[in-house]
Structure 1
């Protein structure tokens, strides 16, 4: 039922009947990622949808049909009622979701909100490359209260190294036009920026370029990679921490600024967990991941960055037509992301930052043969970054205490 990789952990080796017998129950889904359009108007060379081992997008509808959307709305409503959820988040995704067009997006949002019980708050947002953020598109998103986060990889040189049109033309100028519109009269919708780390880009110049539109938040993403196909310049046998060094430079610039310029999700989540809080990010800490993806054909998937592991890696074998979301809660891949320390390999057990790192992003743990029961391919970088942030915060907290209490 679960396809390729079924002989690897967690499809093989995770004892779900034992978990049930001991009284463990999954956390209901509260975030639903809808692939309302499965194609893109850019050709980014690092894209996990089009450039990875999984090429299933070729066999799926370009846009989510009405019947899939209606079935999804009904399943969300069913899940809300079954678990008495007070709020859910719906993320319109792709591909490039704005390719669906204003009318289809507006109708989708209306259907989703109308289906969910009035007792539940529905937050709708989208992740876009920003190229199609015209005045008319933003007016529609504003009318329907749809938050907008945009992918931007820094200044023109850094962004256009990877985020290109199919003809090789850079997209930075178009993205900035859309971003300036968003950050202007539609600023209330501005959710923030997503930036993929590129070691060839200067970290400080990248960070300061991202500040140009005063984003409320920046999310730095590590390039996807596995133990079989490691990220660019990430040695799999130790030998350096290039990504930690890049991120530490940004952290120090951000943390020591005389005033808060923006939020940085990765740093804030690490600090939050270090200080005893619960993680709100799937890439930090051990909090249960309660997110489900619905593709354009109605198939239910785990986080779609798993496409970098092997063909079919995100699949659950379930669809919105034939299965409830509760069925997906018991998929081994979903369970593995909700059981905390029990999903970490023995090599993580004695690590001082285990509960902060949480094993790192799930997709980055994959190794053929053992599946996802591995440390992150970024393990040395995460250890160094978390250690640096922890020491910095600890030192400042000590300095902030009255002299007689230390």
Structure 2
């Protein structure tokens, strides 16, 4: 199954970052394309991106689109660039009649009141990356040149979250993104995240493949599944005070076969287009874990429309029918959907494998099914 249209656009306004996270899927995995891209997306690329999005929305009669500013660290682009781009999206894409949702995913260290005022101007939702308490967060997310020292970024991020949680800015708070680290106690990590009163929390499995498996994976153990099960139990026992899309999607898929759109789960394709600072159009960033250039399409915002990208011969196909025989015969396939495509790569078989997190996803799905059985 191929996508017929994109309804989400990830726009890399800035290609560098002021942190040096050791698990970063942009800078620390196999792809090196970022080295040759401009730091800030030039005006000509921004203008063409808005024009292409508008063209795509009109052609497909889309009623809702989501535009996410990303990086690197998108706030490094500066308030003037963000203000100009967001205004252009609201004015031009909004003229199609589609409901436009603007968001920014940030490490939080640059989220000052002045920046938040600009985001307010464009009703821009803010997602912040936070990996739990100070010890857990700073183990991997230090400022450039300071990783592994006491000069981590947790203090800056929590100060920004206090601003974001204030009455002045609360309506912009979209949620927190936490990368799972087995060294961090799961319940303690969850409690540290919820203490900031986010409306939602997303958990990200570290990007890995069969050729470069995740830390802690061994034999028939499911350590990431165990970790997530503990978090689920804490979330469930405390009355589910925040949205956790991963858990909600598993519950929905178990009950009705329809989930809430989490890339890690389900057989439906992720309708996301990614635009780099130089205008390159690439597949999802998770493919950076596979090989240098695995996410590249060879297309740019100047050479191809978004429909043209979808028509490329190497456009990823999704759906149960595209999975390996092991996945197709699994009774849980309608829930896990084979897992994230990048996580299936390796063993000399390309993507024709179960997820490297297969045991973990199985553990989590079965646990949630047992806990929510009625």
Contact 2:273 2:284 in 1 (8 A): yes
Match of 2:246 among 266, 270, 295: 266
Q: Could you tell me how far apart the structure 1 residues matched to 2:258 and 2:104 are?
A: 24
Q: Is 1:125 aligned to 2:103, yes or no?
A: yes
Paired residue for 1:370?
A: 349
1:238-261 superposed Cα distances (whole Å, 9 cap, x missing partner): 32111111111110111121x331
Q: Could you tell me how far apart the structure 2 residues matched to 1:25 and 1:312 are?
A: 21
Paired residue for 1:233?
A: 216
1:202-245 superposed Cα distances (whole Å, 9 cap, x missing partner): 0010000001111000001111110000011112xx32111111
Paired residue for 2:186?
A: 203
What does residue range 215-234 of structure 1 map to in structure 2 within 5 Å? Answer: 215-234=198-217
3-state secondary structure, aligned to 2:256: coil
3-state secondary structure, aligned to 1:282: coil
Moved over 2 A (4+): 24-27, 330-335
Paired residue for 2:282?
A: 301
Question: TM-score by structure 1 length?
Answer: 0.88
3-state secondary structure, aligned to 2:49: helix
Match of 2:332 among 353, 366, 371: 353
Alpha carbon RMSD of aligned pairs, Å? 1.2
Bigger Rg, structure 1 or 2:
1
Question: TM-score by structure 2 length?
Answer: 0.96
Q: Is 1:111 aligned to 2:91, yes or no?
A: no
Q: Is 1:142 aligned to 2:125, yes or no?
A: no
Q: Could you tell me how far apart the structure 1 residues matched to 2:25 and 2:229 are?
A: 25
Contact 1:278 1:287 in 2 (8 A): no
What does residue range 298-337 of structure 1 map to in structure 2 within 5 Å? Answer: 298-337=279-318
Shift of 1:161: 0.3
Unaligned runs of 5+ in 2: none
What does residue range 2-401 of structure 1 map to in structure 2 within 5 Å? Answer: 26-116=3-93, 117-168=95-146, 169-184=151-166, 185-235=168-218, 238-257=219-238, 259-279=239-259, 280-337=261-318, 340-367=319-346, 369-394=348-373, 397=374
1:312-368 superposed Cα distances (whole Å, 9 cap, x missing partner): 01011111101110011123554413xx11221001122111110011111111115
Cα distance change, pair 352–97 in 1 and its aligned pair in 2 (3 A) = same
Contact 2:106 2:127 in 1 (8 A): yes
Shift of 1:118: 3.8
Shift of 1:102: 0.7
Contact 1:71 1:321 in 2 (8 A): yes
More displaced 10-residue stretch of structure 1: 275-284 or 242-251: 275-284
More displaced 10-residue stretch of structure 1: 109-118 or 352-361: 109-118
Q: Could you tell me how far apart the structure 1 residues matched to 2:316 and 2:185 are?
A: 39
Q: Could you tell me how far apart the structure 2 residues matched to 1:281 and 1:63 are?
A: 29
Cα distance change, pair 390–192 in 1 and its aligned pair in 2 (3 A) = same
Unaligned runs of 5+ in 1: 1-23, 398-406
Contact 1:36 1:296 in 2 (8 A): yes
